[in-house]
Amino acid sequence: MRRVPTALIAALTLVVGFAVAQVSDVRALGGAVLLAGGAWCAVRAWRPAGALRTVVVLVVAALCFVASHLLAPHLGAWPSVAVVAAVLAAVTWVLVDRPAGAAARR
């Protein structure tokens, strides 16, 4: 069985966290989803990616969270979440999920 890419879970964490906060009208619940998803991704990424890459992904995730709030007045709430989730997915794929030989083949 193939494992679910960490990049997908990282992106979904932002989307689901926002959805939970919006639907429940309790921002702390959305924050709890973000923390749980971030912890899951960190544990999942630690061994294959190493400490430095895992920390970079977590920092990018935090920056994406902030960026979504800054972009929301300009793009709208859902579009800004979609944009930052795509950015986080791309960064996570490059740093964690990309096959080890992919960089060497370029």
In tens, the pLDDT along 87-96 reads 999 999 999 9
How many whole angstroms from its chain centre is CA 29? 17
Cβ-defined contacts of 15-23 (< 8 Å, 24+): 15/81, 15/82, 15/85, 18/68, 18/77, 18/78, 18/81, 22/77
Counted domains in the chain:
1
Domain span at 52: 7-97
Q: How far apart are the C-alpha atoms of 45 and 4, rounded to whole Å? A: 12
Please, is 2 exposed, middle or buried when counting C-beta atoms within 10 Å of its C-beta (0-12, 13-18, 19+)?
A: exposed
Please indicate, yes or no, if residue 87 is contained in any of the structural domains. yes
Please indicate, yes or no, if residue 102 is contained in any of the structural domains. no
Please indicate, yes or no, if residue 85 is contained in any of the structural domains. yes
Please indicate, yes or no, if residue 106 is contained in any of the structural domains. no
pTM to 2 decimal places: 0.89
Please indicate, yes or no, if residue 104 is contained in any of the structural domains. no
Q: Supply the DSSP symbol for 5.
A: P
Please indicate, yes or no, if residue 65 is contained in any of the structural domains. yes
Q: What is the pLDDT of residue 99?
A: 82
What sign does the CA torsion over 95, 98, 103, 104 have? positive
Please indicate, yes or no, if residue 88 is contained in any of the structural domains. yes
Please indicate, yes or no, if residue 21 is contained in any of the structural domains. yes
Report pLDDT digits (tens) over 23-71. 999 999 999 999 999 999 999 888 888 999 999 999 999 999 999 999 9
Q: Is residue 2 very low, low, confident or very high in pLDDT (cuts 50, 70, 90)?
A: low
